[in-house]
């Protein structure tokens, strides 16, 4: 019988309880705070990232996992007779997928999936793969099914302030200032593997998040009811609870999983960034 191990870069932002319950292997990516190197989920998290930005005014940088590091990571499982299915952050956001793919070509029984997503947009694909594994599907069947539905993952976030996006060169200083004056909260969505502005909400964050969830419900009438994620950077818990409540009102998911975004998403979007992620049909 085929032994299958599902693994992922730490960019999947899955809660530790979910990782343990599904026996998912996590390969931490490197985060650079100035000259100091840390490893996501090991010795750095979103809170440490925000503290660093607050103290220095600088954004952290990420370093793609090397080909040799991926080979070493995969060999931990292939040496035990496992076939590995590994998930990466979108290839349009990082060279991790390219490096992992090169490493896999030099090995046997390693499949690498370009999630064309990030955060729990990657994570929700992993959980679907875990469901299929429990149903007895082969590695090839799982990989083919996941790849076929990558474009059906709805992943978007409402951003409170544009400060971090401005620091990272993703919006102009004029846009950042105007967003403060006009109280604009953009919705950032993943399309074709790349992030871009989807909508712009006006008013306070409570109003914006309320309208954001309603818009999702209006736009995606046909969706997979199995689960959704409410994923956020360090955010006022009242806002998180509001979004979860609105999701319950507008959708019929069997499971709503709250997840705190890791170092990568937080370093780009900052405080009070929150999103709802699910599969559409």
CA distance 189 to 275: 9
Asked if 29 and 11 touch (Cβ cutoff 8 Å), the reply is yes
CA distance 142 to 257: 22
Total tally of structural domains belonging to the chain: 2
* Averaged pLDDT for residues 43-71: 89
In a domain, 50, yes or no: no
pTM of the complete model: 0.91
215 and 267 in a single domain? The answer is yes
Q: What is the CATH number of the domain that holds 134?
A: 3.40.50.10170
100 and 172 in a single domain? The answer is no
* Averaged pLDDT for residues 199-219: 94
Q: Is 176 exposed, middle or buried (0-12, 13-18, 19+ CB in 10 A)?
A: middle
- Phi and psi, residue 39, nearest 5°: -125, 125
12 and 135 in a single domain? The answer is yes
106 and 175 in a single domain? The answer is no
236 and 206 in a single domain? The answer is yes
In a domain, 51, yes or no: no
117 and 241 in a single domain? The answer is no
> Which of 109, 127, 148 is at the close of a domain?
148
96 and 135 in a single domain? The answer is yes
- 3 pLDDT exceeds 90? yes
What's the pLDDT score for residue 169?
A: 43
Residues of the domain holding 138: 3-29+64-148
Q: With bands split at pLDDT 50, 70 and 90, how would you rate the model's confidence at 173? A: very low
List residues bridging with 195 in a β-sheet: 190
87 and 180 in a single domain? The answer is no
Q: What is the CATH number of the domain that holds 196?
A: 3.30.1180.10
- 163 pLDDT exceeds 70? no
113 and 248 in a single domain? The answer is no
143 and 184 in a single domain? The answer is no
In a domain, 111, yes or no: yes
Tens digit of each residue's pLDDT (9 = 90 or more) over 114-160 = 999 999 999 999 999 999 999 999 999 999 999 999 999 999 999 88
What's the pLDDT score for residue 72?
A: 97
């Amino acid at each position: 019988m085929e032994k299958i191990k599902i693994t992922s870069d730490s960019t999947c932002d899955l809660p530790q309880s979910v990782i343990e319950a599904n026996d998912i292997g996590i390969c931490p990516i490197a985060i650079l705070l100035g000259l100091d190197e840390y490893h996501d989920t090991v010795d750095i998290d979103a809170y440490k990232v925000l503290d660093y930005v607050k103290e220095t005014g600088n954004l952290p940088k990420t370093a793609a996992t090397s080909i040799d590091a991926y080979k070493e990571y995969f060999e931990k499982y292939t040496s035990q007779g496992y076939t590995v299915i590994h998930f990466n952050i979108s290839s349009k956001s990082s060279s991790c997928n390219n490096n992992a793919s090169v490493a896999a070509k030099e090995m046997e029984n390693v499949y690498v999936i370009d999630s064309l997503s990030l955060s729990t947009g990657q994570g929700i694909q992993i959980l679907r793969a875990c469901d299929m594994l429990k149903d007895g599907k082969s590695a090839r069947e799982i990989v083919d099914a996941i790849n076929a539905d990558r474009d059906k993952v709805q992943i978007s976030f409402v951003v409170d302030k544009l400060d971090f996006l401005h620091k990272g060169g993703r919006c102009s200083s004029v846009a950042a200032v105007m967003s403060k004056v006009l109280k604009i909260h953009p919705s950032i969505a993943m399309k074709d593997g790349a992030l871009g502005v989807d909508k712009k909400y006006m008013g306070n964050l409570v109003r914006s998040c309320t309208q954001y969830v309603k818009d999702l419900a209006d736009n995606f009438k046909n969706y997979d009811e199995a689960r959704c994620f409410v994923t956020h950077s360090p955010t006022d818990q009242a806002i998180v609870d509001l979004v979860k409540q609105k999701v319950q009102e507008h959708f019929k998911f069997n499971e709503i999983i709250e997840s705190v975004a890791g170092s990568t998403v937080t370093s780009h979007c900052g405080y009070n960034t929150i999103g709802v992620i699910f599969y559409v049909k």
